[in-house]
């Protein structure tokens, strides 16, 4: 498998290159990513190209047996370009032009910028498309990151209007679809339609959702501009990818993935200014998102954190063991290659406190040794492991447009989309049930349980899919705010949960949005949740069963004794409705029963910090990876039946496995 580093030869004197490459070889690196911020070097003035620096670097790496991934440099348009064509710069919601001086200072809606992008990409493709040691390409870098996904300038407005015209054909259709009759917003010319700049109140939610779709489409088409040009010139073995980050922006990775050979991901479980890493399930679900992006296909981690990160703020120092743990976690959940960010901390620039495998002094120390241990171990079993099959019983539905709709109308100040998604995803993670993220295009065959968290913005096809899944015997878990919106962000006219009403066997005739610090409480009244109490926060649906039975009830306010969780038989399947945001204990009790009934495979462990994943190798043997995310506490895992062998030490383990803090193991069944 490929394991490598992100390398910036341009940031170091050439005298150092030899030593860098020597240390990389010693480390076992077989791939480096290069050039993704090197536009100015490759096009020092308009129309003048100079690839000598990267030529030289690639030659040195090639000679040393290290292969190369090349990034197109379009995340950083050079100063000369911005000076001459300032219309490239993005504009914020107040109309403030974003300045040159950092990165991502362009709007994809600028035709000028698309032209420049096309030229540099084509030049690179022509120069390196046939190169033997260049194995693939990364387009741009982290599309949309750091609020660069939405731009509100005049070129953006014009592009938005064009996009809308394409989508709606006539203004009547658009006016109807947006409900512009509200507040007298009916448009009588395409040119009247604004981008959502600052208003006194709030924009039309249908416009906002279309604006997010437009922004995402604009990026998708911008990426396609690059992939089309690359494919024209590169040899067929070279692949194309893009390194995504998941920070809720208006980017549609599923659409974009169609133009890519596979997805890449920049894996930073902790970032500048964070006091500690995000939760294990939060990391895991990002890997699941990666796999889902191209129908289960493996992905690259194009940037894997290797040291403390930060710009003007730093934060948490990854502990000894974290490199191995996060590497194993990523591979277990689908990563096929790991590229550590970055080879060495820069001595200058905004990211000089992004620490790498080496720090500023360039000396191999603890982190270098840890990476070496990982590479050495993976050299024993890595190829087999990444070739093995990850097969999930549990599907968790995700639709990026639903996330946007929630961003537009969170409805409660306590609502955070990702947090609520994880509320319904994490019980599976805590039980080590394998999960897939599924989207509207996914095939649901083979899953036993389908979790559909906060399914606010609905899609008729998805409603149909969910219904069929249940009818055919599957188990569905629905949550509060299911079925509320139509595709154009209108509230449905049916009584809630709208199209899912019969399925769920309930009606929601009243609901309450709870604000930060406000709570109700819930008590289980039947089945596994019986007697379990929980705080209820964020949202309370007053659930009225029609055909469903009641599993839990509210315990205060005027809707005391109203149902909060229900279970309904539908066709051959079962549908649960969870009408509020509940705590782990009751969620785990609920899921335990559901998984048991549905025959979901789980692995028992000491708690949420322990994460175990099994995958089946081509020879039928099973890889079992297990990590303990806790930096302080030991953990344990009840190993599945059989004999498990550590492929490196060849030690054999069985039964109850004890795990040191930050332990990371891979075993193979004998």
Among 19, 26, 63, 99, binds its own copies (CB under 8 A): 99
23 interacts with its own copies by CB under 8 A: no
The CB-of-660 to its own copies minimum distance in angstroms stands at 12
184 interacts with its own copies by CB under 8 A: yes
Q: Which is nearer to its own copies, 413 or 649 (CB)?
A: 413
Among 315, 545, 571, 640, binds its own copies (CB under 8 A): 315
277 interacts with its own copies by CB under 8 A: no
Return the number of other C-beta atoms located less than 10 Å from residue 594's C-beta: 24
Q: Which is nearer to its own copies, 246 or 397 (CB)?
A: 246
173 interacts with its own copies by CB under 8 A: no
650 labelled catalytic: no
Among 82, 174, 229, 637, binds its own copies (CB under 8 A): 82
113 interacts with its own copies by CB under 8 A: no
Size of the site for its own copies (CB under 8 A): 119
Among 73, 129, 356, 453, binds its own copies (CB under 8 A): 73
Q: Give me the 522-541 binding string for its own copies, x by CB under 8 A, dash otherwise.
A: --------------------
Selected range binding its own copies among 279-287, 308-316, 386-394, 599-607, rule: CB under 8 A: 308-316
Nearest to 346 by CA among 330, 332, 357, 333: 357
| 159 burial level (CB within 10 Å; 0-12, 13-18, 19+) | buried
- What is the C-alpha to C-alpha distance for residues 588 and 611, in angstroms, rounded to an integer? 16
- What is the C-alpha to C-alpha distance for residues 562 and 553, in angstroms, rounded to an integer? 5
Selected range binding its own copies among 143-151, 385-393, 570-578, 606-614, rule: CB under 8 A: 143-151
344 interacts with its own copies by CB under 8 A: no
Q: Which is nearer to its own copies, 541 or 611 (CB)?
A: 541
Check if the beta carbon of residue 267 is closer than 8 Å to that of residue 281.
no
DSSP 244: E
Locate 295 and state its tokens. 């129908």
409 interacts with its own copies by CB under 8 A: yes
Among 288, 351, 420, 523, binds its own copies (CB under 8 A): 351
Selected range binding its own copies among 7-15, 107-115, 451-459, 642-650, rule: CB under 8 A: 7-15
71 interacts with its own copies by CB under 8 A: no
> Residue 161: what are its φ and ψ, rounded to 5°?
-60, -40
Among 15, 52, 170, 275, binds its own copies (CB under 8 A): 275
10 labelled catalytic: no
> Residue 375: what are its φ and ψ, rounded to 5°?
-65, -40
If you compute the radius of gyration of the chain from its CA atoms, what whole number of angstroms results? Answer: 26
Locate 294 and state its tokens. 């191209």
Selected range binding its own copies among 145-153, 298-306, 525-533, 645-653, rule: CB under 8 A: 145-153
Max alpha carbon distance in the chain (Å)?
Answer: 76
200 interacts with its own copies by CB under 8 A: yes
Interstrand relation of 394-397 and 435-438 (parallel, antiparallel or unpaired): parallel
Q: How far is CA 634 from CA 323, 428, 580, in A?
A: 18, 21, 33
The CB-of-482 to its own copies minimum distance in angstroms stands at 15
Q: Is residue 204 marked as binding?
A: no
- What is the C-alpha to C-alpha distance for residues 536 and 581, in angstroms, rounded to an integer? 5
362 interacts with its own copies by CB under 8 A: yes
Q: How far is CA 400 from CA 216, 218, 417, 487, in A?
A: 10, 15, 11, 12
Q: Which is nearer to its own copies, 363 or 572 (CB)?
A: 363
Q: Give me the 209-248 binding string for its own copies, x by CB under 8 A, dash otherwise.
A: ----------------------------------------
Q: Which is nearer to its own copies, 30 or 139 (CB)?
A: 139
Residues 620-639 that bind its own copies (CB under 8 A): 631
18 interacts with its own copies by CB under 8 A: no
Residues 413-432 that bind its own copies (CB under 8 A): 413
- What is the C-alpha to C-alpha distance for residues 588 and 593, in angstroms, rounded to an integer? 9
Q: Is residue 432 marked as binding?
A: no
Q: Which is nearer to its own copies, 430 or 481 (CB)?
A: 481
273 interacts with its own copies by CB under 8 A: yes
The three-state secondary structure class of 494 is coil
Q: Which is nearer to its own copies, 55 or 585 (CB)?
A: 55
- What is the C-alpha to C-alpha distance for residues 403 and 252, in angstroms, rounded to an integer? 11
Return the number of other C-beta atoms located less than 10 Å from residue 168's C-beta: 17
Q: Which is nearer to its own copies, 199 or 652 (CB)?
A: 199
Q: Which is nearer to its own copies, 196 or 280 (CB)?
A: 196
Q: Which is nearer to its own copies, 408 or 590 (CB)?
A: 408
561 interacts with its own copies by CB under 8 A: no
Q: In what order do the strands lie in the sheet with 644-645?
A: 610-616, 622-628, 664-669, 644-645, 652-653
Q: How far is CA 297 from CA 288, 333, 335, 354, in A?
A: 11, 11, 9, 30
Residues 471-510 that bind its own copies (CB under 8 A): 488-496, 509-510
Check if the beta carbon of residue 196 is closer than 8 Å to that of residue 152.
yes
Nearest to 164 by CA among 155, 152, 173, 151: 173
Selected range binding its own copies among 33-41, 323-331, 449-457, 565-573, rule: CB under 8 A: 33-41
| 296 burial level (CB within 10 Å; 0-12, 13-18, 19+) | middle
Q: Which residue has the tokens 């990426």?
A: 223
The length of the chain, given as a count of residues: 670
Of 36, 43, 142, 523, which residue is the catalytic one?
142
Selected range binding its own copies among 225-233, 348-356, 456-464, 596-604, rule: CB under 8 A: 348-356
Q: What angle do CA 229, 235, 239 make, to 5 degrees?
A: 75
The CB-of-397 to its own copies minimum distance in angstroms stands at 23
Q: Is the four-CA dihedral 421, 195, 245, 294 of positive or negative sign?
A: positive
DSSP 97: B
Locate 52 and state its tokens. 């000598």
The CB-of-280 to its own copies minimum distance in angstroms stands at 19
The CB-of-185 to its own copies minimum distance in angstroms stands at 6
Selected range binding its own copies among 192-200, 438-446, 594-602, 617-625, rule: CB under 8 A: 192-200
Q: How far is CA 20 from CA 2, 11, 54, 64, in A?
A: 18, 12, 15, 11
- What is the C-alpha to C-alpha distance for residues 45 and 64, in angstroms, rounded to an integer? 32
The CB-of-598 to its own copies minimum distance in angstroms stands at 32
Of 43, 303, 553, 608, which residue is the catalytic one?
303
The CB-of-387 to its own copies minimum distance in angstroms stands at 35
Left, alpha or beta for 76 (phi > 0: left; psi -120 to 50: alpha)?
A: beta
Q: Is residue 141 marked as binding?
A: yes
Active site (catalytic) residues: 142, 303
Q: Which residues are annotated as a binding site?
A: 103, 141, 311
Binding residues for substrate: 103, 141, 311
């Amino acid at each position: 498998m490929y394991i490598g580093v992100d390398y910036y030869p341009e940031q170091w004197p050439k005298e150092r290159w030899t030593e860098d490459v020597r240390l990389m070889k010693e480390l076992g690196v077989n791939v480096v990513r290069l050039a993704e911020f090197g536009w100015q070097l490759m096009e020092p003035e308009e129309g003048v190209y100079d690839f000598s620096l990267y030529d030289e670097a690639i030659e040195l790496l090639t000679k040393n047996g290290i292969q190369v991934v090349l990034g197109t440099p379009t995340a950083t348009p050079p100063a000369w370009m911005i000076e001459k064509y300032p219309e490239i710069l993005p504009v914020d919601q107040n109309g403030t032009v974003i300045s040159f001086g950092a990165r991502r200072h362009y709007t994809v809606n600028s035709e000028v910028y698309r032209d420049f992008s096309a030229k540099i990409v084509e030049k690179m493709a022509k120069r390196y498309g046939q190169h033997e040691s260049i194995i693939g390409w990364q387009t741009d870098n982290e599309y949309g990151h750091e609020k660069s996904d939405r731009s509100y300038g005049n070129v953006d407005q014009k592009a938005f209007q064009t996009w809308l015209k394409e989508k709606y054909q006539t203004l009547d259709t658009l006016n109807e679809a947006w409900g512009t009759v509200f507040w007298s917003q009916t448009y009588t010319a395409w040119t009247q339609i604004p981008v959502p700049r600052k208003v006194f109140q709030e924009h039309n939610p249908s416009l906002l959702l279309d604006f997010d779709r437009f922004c995402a489409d604009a990026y998708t088409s911008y990426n396609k501009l690059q992939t089309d040009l690359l494919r024209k010139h590169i040899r067929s073995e070279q692949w194309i990818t893009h390194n995504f980050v998941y920070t809720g922006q208006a980017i549609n990775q599923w659409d974009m993935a169609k133009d890519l050979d596979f997805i890449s991901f920049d894996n930073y479980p902790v970032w500048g200014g964070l006091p500690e890493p995000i939760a294990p399930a939060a990391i895991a679900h990002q890997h699941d998102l990666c796999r889902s992006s191209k129908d289960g296909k493996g992905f690259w981690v194009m940037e894997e954190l290797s040291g403390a990160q930060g710009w003007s703020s730093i934060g948490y120092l990854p502990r000894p063991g974290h490199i191995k743990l996060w590497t194993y976690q990523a591979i277990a959940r689908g990563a096929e290659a790991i590229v550590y960010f970055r080879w060495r901390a820069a001595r200058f620039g905004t990211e000089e406190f992004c620490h790498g495998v080496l720090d500023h002094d360039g000396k191999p120390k603890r982190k270098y040794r840890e990476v070496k241990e990982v590479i050495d171990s993976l050299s024993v079993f890595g190829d087999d492991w990444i070739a093995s099959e990850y097969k999930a019983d549990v599907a968790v539905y995700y639709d990026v447009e639903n996330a946007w709709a929630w961003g537009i109308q969170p409805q409660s100040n306590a609502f955070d989309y990702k947090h609520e998604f994880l509320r319904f995803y994490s019980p599976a993670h805590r039980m080590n049930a394998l999960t897939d993220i599924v989207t509207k295009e996914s095939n649901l065959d083979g899953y036993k349980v389908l979790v559909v968290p906060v399914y606010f913005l609905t899609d008729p096809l998805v409603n149909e899919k969910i219904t069929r899944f249940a009818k055919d015997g599957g188990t569905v878990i629905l949550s509060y705010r299911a079925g509320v919106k139509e595709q154009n962000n209108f509230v449905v006219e049916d009584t809630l949960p709208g199209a899912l009403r019969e399925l769920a066997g309930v009606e929601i005739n009243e609901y309450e949005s709870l604000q930060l610090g406000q709570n109700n409480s819930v008590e289980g009244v039947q089945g596994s949740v019986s007697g379990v109490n929980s705080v209820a926060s964020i949202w309370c649906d007053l659930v009225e069963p029609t055909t469903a039975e009641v599993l839990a009830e509210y315990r205060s306010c005027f809707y005391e004794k109203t149902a909060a969780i229900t279970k309904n038989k539908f066709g051959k399947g079962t549908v649960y409705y969870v009408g509020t945001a509940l705590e782990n204990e009751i969620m785990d009790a609920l899921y335990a029963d559901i998984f048991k009934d549905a025959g979901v495979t789980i692995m028992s462990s000491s708690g949420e910090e322990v994460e175990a994943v099994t995958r089946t190798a081509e020879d039928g043997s099973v890889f079992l990876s297990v990590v303990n995310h806790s930096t302080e506490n030991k953990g344990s895992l009840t190993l599945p039946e059989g004999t498990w062998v550590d492929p490196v030490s060849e030690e054999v383990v069985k039964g109850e496995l004890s795990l040191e803090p930050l332990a990371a193991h891979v075993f193979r069944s004998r």
